[in-house]
Structure 1
Amino acid sequence: MTDRIRPLLAGNWKMNGTRASLDQIKAIAEGVKAPLSEKIDTLLCPPATLLYVATALCDDSPLAIGAQDCHSLVSGAHTGDISAAMIADCFGTHVIVGHSERRRNHAESDALVRAKAEAALTAELTTIICIGETADERDQGQTLDVLKRQLAASTPDGAASETTVIAYEPVWAIGTGKVPTSADVEEAHAFIRRELVARFGGDGEKFRLLYGGSVSGANAADLLAVANVNGLLVGGQSLKAADFLAIYSAFERQFA
């Protein structure tokens, strides 16, 4: 993990969580505390139905609350969608765009992901842009080609390290329990770093690069030890406070 980059731990609840889950959010908020909270940023992205209540629960906590997706437009006749402005209006501070499940299940193109990211930046939300290869693409040796294409086409020209985070999530590792080797993660993150530097110059060195895909308390410390891994994007292991806080505590080793 690059020392000069402040790490980020983000949890994505996906389509999980009801009012009964607020106790877990409260427990996570209470567990995210100094001295570690002074050294890393921590984020939880519950479903939109819990967004406003969750921000209220975390009002006195370093735990930030964000959303899992946004529309590319501010408002309009788009039934069921939520705009970046609406997220900000609920006091959300972050939004995830381009997650592989959105790309696959909703046929979201790189161009649409870019438009969503642009909308999020306009609403002054920190934007987490997800990229990653499928199992077939990996088997065909196309991993870096896919990352290059998705990164270039999904990231707005106005992106900057202070407002944009890149998450590498190999699709084949999400929810499967399979995790790439440290060497594989290092290769992917080094490639993403080089591409960002080539496009954004010195600021490309400062973007936070997250790894996501079957992250757990058991493997978090090893993943964080990989060069250019500046944090983690966690799925299922963020639903329970005990699991998420176990991953949170793994960051302590980076400052020992």
Structure 2
Amino acid sequence: MGKKEILVNLKRFEVSRSQGGVCDVDQPGEWLQSVIAEIIRLELDHSEHYNMTVIVPDLLLPFAVEELSKPSVDVALKIGTQSCHREDVALGGHFGAFTSLNIASSQANMGSSASLLGHCEERRELSYSMQKYAEVSGIPVQPELINRAVSEIVGERAVPALAQSMRVIICVGESAEERGEGTFTEQKLRIEQVIRDKLVGGLSHIREQVTSDQLVIAYEPVWAIGPGKTPPDQQYIEYIAGFIKSVTMELLGFEASVVYGGGLKNENASMLAGIENLDGGLIALTNFTPPIGFNVKELSRILTSYTEALN
């Protein structure tokens, strides 16, 4: 069994609680550095069971890299960023500026080694822009076409990330509307079609150059994310992970690594570790009751529960 992938997605922590965010201090950069320092101190990044990537907003990337660059620090963890523009600078080509858009070369130059693409929030924003354009233009809104276009854009964003030697983590999953009513057996065909379409759009632009060690697919059950939602059970996740692997084999000639993107936490760590088709999980929060947030000691508990169940 190869090493699992643990993705720690600190996407919410660039704004302090005093300003309406969930960062515990008023200087988010200092908070991130303290988090990384504690991960290293507890040696959570060194494991025979998993590789760890901490994914941060671009605004906090310099703070993360600075902490990792301190002398005499033996660091195994990698730093990743959250999406990138579909274009990039090139020798003899476009040299900028891509106003307000994050480009892969700048992220890589600042120390990012991975790019998280197609998260449900990113897809929602892209979809909103297309729907608004259709409404203003008087064009009938066609959700299927919009979803297809969104997946194509996600795939285009993977191209410059790979060109900058970053791993790409592509999120796919179904919403409540896409899943529809009925039993899981009745929903299967709808779910499969949604996920297949997102994989085809996301992978068609990179199928000639991507390798198995450059790609991770994060399964993100959108319908189960949020307070009060019931997460999918082991059978559900195991089936979807297996389906994703079969589609990537069909499209790419290899089974991509699949991680659970709906939230690896202490409550489901043992269950997720027992799913053969899963290659890891994504951790975004560790505390889900007020004060909602992220705590390295809780991260350690989650990883302990997860790795003990792997043995």
Deviation per residue, 1:8-52 (Å, 9 max, x gap): 000112232312422122212323347x52331001112111112
TM-score (norm 2): 0.75
- Aligned twin of 1:113: 154
- Aligned twin of 1:149: 197
- Aligned twin of 1:30: 41
1:254 Cα deviation from its structure 2 partner: 4.8
Aligned partners of 1:175 and 1:214 also within 8 Å? no
Say if 1:96 and 1:122 are closer, same or farther in 2 by CA, change over 3 A: same
Aligned partners of 1:173 and 1:214 also within 8 Å? no
Find 2:68's aligned residue among 58, 62, 73.
58
SS at match of 1:162: helix
Aligned partners of 2:54 and 2:77 also within 8 Å? yes
1:121 Cα deviation from its structure 2 partner: 0.5
Aligned partners of 1:58 and 1:64 also within 8 Å? no
Aligned partners of 1:24 and 1:239 also within 8 Å? no
Say if 1:25 and 1:175 are closer, same or farther in 2 by CA, change over 3 A: farther
Structure 1 stretch 157-166 or stretch 245-254: which is displaced more?
245-254
Structure 1 stretch 165-174 or stretch 241-250: which is displaced more?
241-250
SS at match of 2:169: strand
Q: Does 1:208 align with 2:257?
A: yes
Q: Does 1:225 align with 2:274?
A: yes
Question: What is the rounded CA distance, in whole Å, between the counterparts of 1:136 and 1:146 in structure 2?
Answer: 11
Question: What is the rounded CA distance, in whole Å, between the counterparts of 2:122 and 2:282 in structure 1?
Answer: 16
Say if 1:145 and 1:50 are closer, same or farther in 2 by CA, change over 3 A: same
- Aligned twin of 1:125: 166
1:251 Cα deviation from its structure 2 partner: 3.4
Q: Which consecutive residues of structure 1, in runs of 5 or more, have no partner in the other structure?
A: none
Aligned partners of 2:53 and 2:78 also within 8 Å? yes
1:233 Cα deviation from its structure 2 partner: 1.3
Say if 1:255 and 1:226 are closer, same or farther in 2 by CA, change over 3 A: closer
Q: Does 1:43 align with 2:53?
A: yes
Deviation per residue, 1:35-83 (Å, 9 max, x gap): x523310011121111122123134321211101111111433321211
Aligned partners of 2:260 and 2:282 also within 8 Å? yes
Find 1:182's aligned residue among 234, 238, 244.
234
Say if 1:15 and 1:252 are closer, same or farther in 2 by CA, change over 3 A: closer
- Aligned twin of 1:87: 107
SS at match of 1:106: helix
CA RMSD of aligned residues (A): 1.9
Q: Does 1:197 align with 2:249?
A: yes
Q: Which consecutive residues of structure 2, in runs of 5 or more, have no partner in the other structure?
A: 15-27, 90-95, 128-148, 182-186, 287-292
Deviation per residue, 1:95-117 (Å, 9 max, x gap): 10010100002337111100111
Find 2:295's aligned residue among 227, 231, 240.
240
TM-score (norm 1): 0.90
Aligned partners of 1:216 and 1:243 also within 8 Å? no
SS at match of 2:281: strand
* Number of residue pairs aligned between Structure 1 and Structure 2: 249
Question: What is the rounded CA distance, in whole Å, between the counterparts of 2:263 and 2:216 in structure 1?
Answer: 19
Deviation per residue, 1:115-169 (Å, 9 max, x gap): 1111110000011000000011112422111111101110121222110111000
Give % identity: 28
Question: What is the rounded CA distance, in whole Å, between the counterparts of 2:53 and 2:193 in structure 1?
Answer: 30
Residue 15 of structure 1 aligns with an amino acid whose one-letter code is R
Aligned partners of 2:7 and 2:55 also within 8 Å? yes
Q: Larger radius of gyration, structure 1 or 2?
A: 2
Residue 246 of structure 1 aligns with an amino acid whose one-letter code is R
